[in-house]
Structure 1
Amino acid sequence: MGKALFALSRRLHRYAGLLLLLYLIFVGVTGILLNHPTMISALSVPRWLVPPSYQIEEWNRGSLRSVVFSEREPSVGFVAGTEGIWKTTDGGVTFEPMASGYPRSRALRRTNHIVLLEEEEEAPARLLAATRGGLFVASVDDAEWRRIPLAPGDEHVRKILRIGERLVVFTNSNAYEAYGEAGGDLPHFTLVDPDRLHGGEGGTTEGVSLVRLMFALHSGAVWGMPGRLLIDAAGVALIFLSASAIYLWYFPRSRRRSAGAPRKDGIGRRLFPWLFKYHLKIGVWATLFLILFAGTALFMPPSPLVPMTVRKVVPPQYWPGPLPANPWHGNIGNATYDPVRDEILVELRGGTGRSVWRAPADFSTPFARDAARLPIGAMGSNVLEIKADGTLVVGSFSGLYQRSAGGGALIDLSTGEPADPRPFRRGEGGWQTAGYFETPSGERFVVTHDEGLIGIGGAQPNGRFKMPDELKQGYRMPLWSFLFEVHNGRILRDWLSSHYYLISFLGALSLLLITFTGLFDWAYRKLPARPGKGRPEKRKEDPAK
């Protein structure tokens, strides 16, 4: 029975491993690179290597997220998104890039929000840009960008709020404020005392989502940089195990084919025992990490098991690594200013999803959770604005919605009907909202992730807001984003349609099978056998068989 089970286990290990050799090598290489985004942030993939569904058309895929027009000259406007910032001087008919001094990296130039400062008539207008690579400012006259320092380290800037003569900038972890006229030199931003923001509440104090834990364990980030490096080492082990398996399978067959030839003590014969020995040793040492890789991948997007973890929360005391002292660290998604109530709203990622918090605009008291429920999807809001009359506009991959001042009904702008405010529910119109803007004449447009620019309430582009050919033809996908789509198999959805999710799911299950059968094979060879009542013997086999 034991021998038969060993034979079955060895066959499963061998043929499942051979079937997934290239996949596992690819997963190991891409996983290591994904674990160090700053190392590859300057690299990108040319358009011809990017599948059609990932290429940009009509401002889709976040290439347009924020638009502002000049109050002095309404025909002058600026468009911002994943491809940087573009300027129009004819109301949106033509566009020119504003790239001088802007981040060259395709990843760092991604722009979340822009604000145009035009306080003094005689002073040149200036444009502020919130990017993944920091906060930037440029004079509209010379269009030369300069970086505004916020903190010693780089922070992902989410939103810029203009409150009277004060500017408030929210990054993914902190808030900064500056005072002064727009015509001065670089605004000097100071960090808002974190206690004035959260008072020790929100974010990680409410617990951390189970999905986030899966990502943190999968990358090792739960233990900081040492954890990432340890996972990198396990990734190298996975690559070695997969590459060595190729030779361990090929060499015995090559030897059998040349059985009649004279035996030579060549490099191949000397290499085989060494590879076999360390294939076993490294495989055993890496077992726990291989199980960690596969087990967490089963509960990460796009796996069909993700719904089992979406609403689950890990209490802070059970988080397996250190949590930041700032509970808002990495949890700020968006923000806006309410001029009617003189308050700031912040969208925060917490244990049970996305929530909105309110506080006085001067931060005189910490933020408190807003009782109102907004339909913000799991990936957060891309639009969060409150107009001068108090009208709220919120958009995410769950749709685009509007609520009048005073807490009126929430309206789905894709249908014009009252909306279900529950999160993670897409509106009937299916608008996966990436951006939203209004023209000086009051026309409204939504920009969706897939379709691009769509008019609201009968608004039509009428020859305006056409994406420049230069932007479309010169598109390059950030390498990190490309590798992420490769790593989880989503890159093949153009060919596999909705079945693409099976790649990572079945790959994870197969890696578990290979790992457990390999462990069993090692234990069978290593542990003593008792064929009878005699003295225990260790099993000896020719590993080349």
Structure 2
Amino acid sequence: MLRSTFRKHHKWFGIVMGFFLIVFCVSGILLNHRHAISGIDVSRGMLPSRYEIKQWNSGLLRGTCRMDDGRVAVYGSAGVFLTDTVASSFVSMNEGLPQGADMRQMRGMAGVSYGAGQKSSHEFFAVSQYGLYRTDGRHRWHHVALPTGEEERLTDVTSRGDTLVVLSRSYVYVATAPYRTFRRVEIPAPSGYDGKVSLFRTVWLLHSGELFGTVGVIIVDVISVILIIICVTGLAFWLTAKISVRQSLKRLKGRALKTLLSWHDIIGRKTIVLTLLICVTGWMLRPPMMIPLALSRVPAVPGTIQHSCNAWNDRLRMVRYDEAAGDWMVSTSEGFFSLGKDIQHPVPQRISDAPPVSVMGLNVLQREKEGGKWLCGSFSGMFVWDRQTSTSTDYFTHQPAPKSAGAPFGKTAVSGFTDDIIVGGRHDGIVVEYDKGTSLLQQPSWMNRLPMSLWNVALEAHSGRLFIGNIATYVFVLVMGMAAVWSLITGLKIRRKPNKNSKRK
């Protein structure tokens, strides 16, 4: 390809996608520092209308918990709300929780009972990614300390009798009344454990820099700033060249062009390997590349956060006790496992014939009120799982469940479920989808514009959904990533000095 053709490609690819690349870089820096911005919210009125919460979509209803006074607590992406069993009205139950929508994304709720007779007591707990909270008699939340590691994220909470179990992405935390002290339990490695990790997760951590800890995150932030400088200097050079000036200002314009080109050229050439790495790993994290990555396993890179003595590091998602089977079971990124009868001395064994779960993880895992089967809901759909017969069927079609989860988002992206609220005479429960929500449960209008966390806004921008909607999940990042890679390559081509032995210089 002629140098003039490379120049045209570099120019127009850079002009068209320069703005989007700057947005990707700024949003990427924000995503890398979630704790720092967790208390900052963005009004949904500033976002496209599709970001209004309607019919309990966007994870607003993840699950419910029946309180001791007969009322129902609804928890999800905006905290906890209190209603009755027919959802006649809703009031906020977020007093005592930290400020910021990101801090109030509740992963689960559980109630425990202890004591006997008139001295019996009930306690209710809720868990977000950042902390465990207990409610008092006035429905006010109080933080409960856990012996977690730095920035360890919590994923679930459940109970059996007077035993409270909190799950993080790496450990199990167990306590009994009065629930002041928790014991951290590390689950032993299962039989056949080979230490390999998901290639998708490895590329994800490499893209963000988290693979190498704080140092890696800072390096990726610096690369993002470099990409911003490259985009800004490139666009400024093009605009400056287009400006017509008087004869007396031509020398000043020439100096400005020379300075901009020098910065653009030197920074671009010196950092080409790092900028290409960020762009390539970014578009690999979206379809179609993410599917083969998610299905592939590789050894953990030594010296990284994935190289851990804990076989379950960053793999745990949800935990429940199965009364029929008489064991604790846990949902992980590696599938379902039985932990045995004693949660404090777990012996993990893989559960075969489990229903398919999206790579995004489970959102629903609870027993049916009648029949004792398990409801398993994720972005791959909802399935009814009978552990006794090792069979799974589709909740909606009643057909046998597929063997694999397929694409990250299936036809029915289930984000929540409740059977504590009875509307329209339905006693079999209400399924809530992430995008569509549910038409069976009326949502108060004042919830439409509940604030959205800055981190989630950055995620929407980084994935491209902020610009063109959900179709961006499948095409936008892929196209923009490949365009960025080609723009960098053509830039290197036109700035390389011609070979002295070449006939054409």
What TM-score does the superposition give when structure 1 sets the normalisation length?
Answer: 0.83
Partner of 1:543: none
Aligned to 1:249: 238
What is the CA-CA distance between 1:163 and the residue it aligns to? 2.1
Aligned equivalents of 2:317, 2:75: Cα separation in 1: 18
Q: C-alpha separation between the residues in 2 aligned to 1:314 and 1:200?
A: 18
Give the alignment of 1:132-531 within 5 angstroms.
132-139=129-136, 141-150=137-146, 151=148, 153-180=150-177, 184=178, 187-192=180-185, 194=186, 197-199=187-189, 205-254=194-243, 257-258=244-245, 261-262=247-248, 266=252, 268-301=253-286, 303-316=287-300, 323-350=307-334, 354-386=335-367, 390-404=372-386, 406-407=388-389, 409-415=391-397, 417-425=398-406, 430-439=411-420, 442-453=427-438, 465-473=441-449, 475-494=450-469, 498=471, 501-524=474-497, 529-530=500-501
Distance 1:14 1:47 in 2: 36
Distance 1:241 1:403, change over 3 A: closer
Asked whether the equivalents of residues 284 and 519 of structure 1 are also in contact (C-alpha less than 8 Å), the reply is yes
In structure 2, the partner of 1:536 is none
User: Distance between the aligned counterparts of 1:506 and 1:437, measured in 2?
Assistant: 39
1:81 to 76, 85, 89: 76
Change over 3 Å in CA distance of 1:356–1:422 after alignment to 2? farther
Q: What letter matches 2:403 in structure 1? A: R
- Secondary structure of the residue aligned to 1:515 is helix
Aligned to 1:14: 11
Deviations along 1:231-269, one digit per CA (max 9) or x if unpaired, are 111111110011111222233343xx447x235654x54
Which structure is larger by alpha-carbon Rg, 1 or 2?
1
CA deviation profile, 1:196-254 (whole Å, cap 9, x unmatched): x1237788x45222222221221112212111111111111110011111222233343
Check whether the contact 2:355–2:385 (CA below 8 A) recurs between aligned residues: no
Deviations 1:390-409 (A, max 9, x none): 42221112222223462254
* Partner in structure 2 of residue 68 of structure 1: 65
Q: Shift of the alpha carbon at 1:357?
A: 4.0
> Is the 2:55–2:443 Cα contact (8 Å) retained in structure 1?
yes
Contact 2:465 / 2:472 at 8 angstroms: preserved in 1? no
CA spacing shift, 1:472–1:89, aligned 2, 3 Å? same
Shift of 1:383: 1.3
Which whole-Å CA distance do the structure 2 matches of 1:519 and 1:57 have between them? 48
Q: 1:377 to 1:206 in 2, by over 3 A?
A: farther
Residue 114 of structure 1, CA deviation: 0.7
Which amino acid is 1:198 matched to?
A: P
- The question of whether the paired residues in 2 share the 8 Å contact of 1:69 and 1:440 is answered with no
Matched position secondary structure for 1:373 = coil
2:75 partner amino acid: A
The structure-2 alpha-carbon separation of the partners of 1:493 and 1:20, relative to structure 1 and needing over 3 Å to count, comes to closer
- Give unmatched runs, 5+ long, in structure 2: none
Q: Secondary structure at the match of 1:29?
A: helix
Aligned counterparts of 2:92 and 2:151: Cα–Cα separation in 1: 24
How far did residue 135 of structure 1 move? 0.5
Q: Deviations for 1:60-82, whole angstroms, at most 9, x for unmatched residues? A: 22111121223x543x1111111
The partner residue of 1:108 within 97, 103, 108 is: 103
TM-score by length of 2: 0.89
**Aligned-partner Cα distance in 2 for 1:240–1:405:** 56
Q: Distance in 2 between matches of 1:7 and 1:68?
A: 66
Structure 2 contact 421–429 (Cα < 8 Å) conserved: no
Structure 1 vs Structure 2: percent identity of aligned residues? 23
Q: Which amino acid aligns with 2:269?
A: V
Q: RCO (CA 8 Å, sep 6+): is it higher in 1 or 2?
A: 2
Cα drift, residue 288 of structure 1: 0.7
The 1:18/1:200 distance shift into structure 2, 3 A limit, reads: same
Compute the RMSD of aligned alpha carbons: 2.9
Residue 85 of structure 1: CA displacement? Answer: 0.6
Amino acid at match of 1:240: I
Q: CA–CA distance in 1 between the matches of 2:344 and 2:412? A: 34
